[in-house]
Chain A
Amino acid sequence: MVSLKTYEDLGREREALISGKITDNEQMNDRHDEIIRETFDVARATIESEQGPPPAPFAFFLMGSAGRREQTTSSDQDHGIIFKGEDVQDYFLKLGKEVSEGLDTVGYPLCDGNVMASNSLWCRSVEAFHHQVAGWIEEESWQSLRNFSIIFDGRVLVGEPEFLENVKIEACHLIERNHLYGRLRDNVGYVKKGVGAFGQLLTDHPHSDHLEIKRTVYFPFVNAIRLLAMKEKETSAPTVQRMNGMEGAYPFLNSYRDDFESLLSLRVEKDVITPDRLSKEEKKEWKYLIRRGRKLFREVSRIMEEGNES
């Protein structure tokens, strides 16, 4: 048996990763995946030594930026466990708790919204997840549709990929039947303005000098592509992969993918920009990306609305 690292070892690896020189989004996320997978292995071994091996087949999946393989140096943890079997939830909740605490020790802060496998909402059997996701869609409240968006960004890191994939596909059919494209669009309809009336970069607040990349530049791309993926039943989570998967049906995505990839590589290094401190070229590039994100969101909104009517 290979001897496992400790959480502290992994914490040091994470520290090295975020203070390191990686400027490539793929490399950055490969490393995050490895560290999280190894953390999961330590947690699993800890629980196995106390409770025995997992009593049923399962999958451990990541959500949020980790699910989309778009983590930066300051991402928290969002994850869940889906398993096949009855009366085994207690075991996986214990595992989920150990993983959450382990990740916290390693340096991924606990999720404020409690989207973690230690929460029974995100640690359920295949049947229960199907039932729950269908319930969210039927309820169609703001929060329940948000929850659906969260699980739709799920990506299996350890275990059986098809458990989660089936949940997503069934949900997409239900959305189609219930004509929810407009509602889902409205659920993420706030697009923060980044370029002003005179073509200037806008800061987050009139009395501060900063602009948070996530909300203003990055979210419009991610939200638009997630919406389209729901419509097209594209089950992959990373935005770039979703775009690749849907390019056949929507050739216009091609140019947006290039823009999004350059955004990802800019974002690996920083979360916030200070427009006053940027060169003319840098400003131009950010403004271009902001406008492209908004444009993509508008185009996708139109597609979603038309999809609703048909």
Chain B
Amino acid sequence: MDAIFLMNNVWIIVCTALVLLMQGGFILLEAGSTRMKNAGHIAGKTVFTVGIASLMFWAVGYGLIYGEGNAFIGLSNFFYGDATTMGEGLAGSVDFMFQLAFAAIALTIAFGGFAERAKLMAYVIFAILFSIVVYPVIAHWIWGGGWLGAHGKQDFAGSTVVHLTGAMAALAATMILKPRIGKYNKDGSSNDIAGHNQVFTALGVLILWVGWFGFNAGSTFGVEDAFFGYVALNTQLAAGAGAIGAMLMVWLLSGKADVPTTLNGALAGLVAITASCAFVEPWAAVLIGLIGGMFVYFSMKFFDKKRIDDPIFALSVHGTVGVWGTLSNGLFATPELATVGRPGLFYGGGFEQLGVQLLGVGASGLYAFVVSFVILKVMDVAMGGLRVSEEEEIMGLDISEHGGYGYPENLTPPKSTDKSGA
């Protein structure tokens, strides 16, 4: 068997493991960014919804994306289990596993908008529906031979497909769920609800950062010319620049070198470079990451002013910056590297690629938002509310949804305060 073929497969299965490890990053990031009383819930639901995402991707997701179909959806290869197919230099199963890990990331991002107030059952049902009617459709449009891919839309590793899609679902969720108790005052002004452990958040970001090498460098789908090294280089530069950009911005504007914002800046750099990591030069990667990091703080403030409570800043990190990352191709893609689509504006490509990118962002973002909103609205009515009761939210989801605390020694179950006996 061809050595390159084997190495391709080994590389991609390693990258699959790295992308799956990003879930560990999300567990720490989300748990650290929220309160102690919800920590066990946030960690546990991530593992368990990865389970749902995996089964759904196997049953229908992969087929809807990559099956034979039309410009809008694939319609074959359900219940994937083909051990013989070889395509694009990869064993089918290796390709399947890599794609599955991406689908699970999009779902976890979407759940950022649910944090600290959604019923456990809302996670279960939305995980199933998102895995059928939201993610696969957009992935098909751009990666599965759909209409946006045919237009030459550049999204190397998924700024749009994974990050923007997840963030749009998160936006729909946070709008329907409404802000957490205590986040906003009567006069509309906002309070900080601090996360309980910045060390967890930082470690979570670092795990995501490492996992991102699977996400971006793995999206080369092979080892030929060792191009993955170049992709990794751009990824590293953008992440570093993102952290710097965000800290600079929050320092200038708030007077404080805020740690959560800086951490989100590193993630913003990673999200921003995800679409363009294979198409741009390193100096552009620095700029793309830096601007992504700077945007993230403005975006956090913007959503806060609009009274959209986004506990772990998923909308800003994955949404706003996902848009920026996708558009940045239209500015910085070089003629030599643009293997899909056209060079960017700054390389004499005119506005054409920028237009294609804008169309891709607009169509995908709109679809993900509208469909998620409708699904969640219907669920809201059918389930008698997506949100837990006020009392449950106050006592925390660890105890209300799971019957035990993530930190049992630090928290004690609330005593019954109802003296009326009713």
Residues of A within 8 A of B (CB): 193-198, 200, 202-203, 205-210, 274, 276-277
Distance to closest chain A CB from B260 (angstroms): 8
B101 to chain A, nearest CB (A): 32
Q: Does B87 contact A (CB under 8 A)?
A: no
Find the A residue at minimum CB distance from B257.
Answer: A206
B residues bordering A, Cβ < 8 Å? 187, 189-192, 194, 250, 252-256, 258, 260-261, 297, 300, 304
Contact call B191/A210, Cβ cutoff below 8 A: yes
Give the distance in Å from the alpha carbon of A299 to the alpha carbon of B256 in the complex.
24
The 6 closest A-B pairs by CB, nearest first: A206-B254, A209-B189, A208-B192, A202-B255, A207-B192, A205-B192
Contact, CB under 8 Å: B189 / A274? yes
Q: How far is the CA of A26 from the CA of B388 in the complex (A)?
A: 49
Asked if residues B189 and A207 are in contact (CB atoms below 8 Å), the reply is no
> Which residues of B have CB within 8 Å of A194?
255
Contact B189 A277 (CB under 8 A): yes
Complex Cα gap A208–B258 (Å): 12
* Contacting residue for B190 out of A195, A202, A209, CB 8 A: A209
B254, A202: Cβ atoms closer than 8 Å: yes
- Determine which of B254, B260, B261, B300 lies in contact with A203 in the assembled complex, contact meaning CB atoms within 8 Å: B254
CB distance from B383 to the nearest CB of A (A): 30
In the bound complex, residues from chain B placing their C-beta under 8 Å from that of A277 are 187, 189
Contact present for A274 and B187 (CB under 8 Å) = yes
Nearest chain A CB to B300's CB is how many angstroms away?
A: 7
Bound CA–CA A294/B140 (angstroms): 59
A-B contact list, 10 entries, CB within 8 Å: A193-B256, A196-B253, A202-B255, A205-B254, A205-B258, A206-B250, A206-B254, A206-B261, A209-B191, A274-B187
Shortest Cβ gap from A201 to chain B (Å): 10
Nearest CB in chain A: distance from B183 CB, A = 10
B252 touches A198 (CB 8 A): yes
Most central of A193, A202, A208 by chain B CB within 10 Å: A208
| Cross-chain pair count, CB within 8 angstroms | 51
Majority-rule SS of A interface residues: loop
CB <8 Å contact, B253 and A207: no
Enumerate chain A residues within 8 angstroms of B297, measured Cβ to Cβ: 206
The answer on a CB contact under 8 Å between B190 and A208 is yes
Residue of A nearest to B184 (CB): A209
How far is A200 from B254 in the complex, measured between Cα atoms in Å?
9
Q: Do the beta carbons of A210 and B189 come within 8 Å of each other? A: yes
Contact, CB under 8 Å: B252 / A197: yes
A196 to B255, CA, bound (A): 6
| A198 shortest CB reach to chain B, Å | 7
| Sample of 13 more A-B contacts, CB < 8 Å, known A205-B192, A207-B192, A207-B258 | A196-B253, A197-B255, A198-B252, A202-B256, A203-B254, A205-B256, A205-B258, A206-B192, A206-B256, A206-B297, A207-B260, A209-B190, A210-B191
Q: Once the chains are docked, how many angstroms separate the CA of A202 from the CA of B260?
A: 17
Q: Which chain B residues lie closer than 8 Å to A195 at the CB level?
A: 255
> B300–A207 contact, CB under 8 A?
yes
Which residues of B have CB within 8 Å of A210? 189, 191
| Residues of B contacting A276 in the complex (Cβ-Cβ under 8 angstroms) | 189
Asked whether, in the complex, the Cβ of B189 is within 8 Å of the Cβ of A200, the reply is no
Q: Is the CB of A196 within 8 A of B190?
A: no
How far is the CB of A289 from the nearest CB of chain B, in Å?
16
Cβ–Cβ contact A207 & B252, under 8 A: no
State the CA gap A195–B250 with chains docked (Å): 14
How long is the Cα–Cα vector from A197 to B254 in the complex, in angstroms? Answer: 9
By beta carbon, the residue of chain B nearest A201 is B255
Contact A196 B254 (CB under 8 A): yes
Q: Would you give the shortest CB distance from B374 to chain A, in whole angstroms?
A: 31
Are A208 and B261 in touch, CB under 8 angstroms? no
Task: Indicate the member of B253, B255, B256, B297 with the most A CB atoms within 10 Å.
Answer: B255
Please, which residues of chain A bring their CB within 8 A of the CB of B190? 207-209
B291 vs chain A, min Cβ distance (A): 19
Bound CA span A207–B264, Å = 13
Task: Kindly report which residue of chain A lies nearest to residue B191, judged by CB atoms.
Answer: A208
Nearest residue (CB) in B for A202 is: B255
A202 to B251, CA, bound (A): 10
Contact A200 B253 (CB under 8 A): yes
Q: Which residues of B contact A274 (CB under 8 A)?
A: 187, 189
| Separation of A210 and B254 alpha carbons in the complex (Å) | 12
Candidates A196, A198, A202, A207; contact of B304 at CB < 8 Å:
A207
A276 to B254, CA, bound (A): 13
B189 touches A206 (CB 8 A): no
From residue A210, how far is it (CB to closest CB) to chain B in Å?
A: 7
Shortest C-beta distance, A216 to chain B (Å), equals 10
How far apart are A307's CB and chain B's nearest CB, in angstroms? 31
Interfacial chain A residues near B194, Cβ < 8 Å:
205
Could you tell me the distance between the alpha carbons of A130 and B180 in the complex, rounded to whole angstroms?
53
Give the interface centre of A198, A202, A205 by most chain B CB atoms within 10 Å. A205
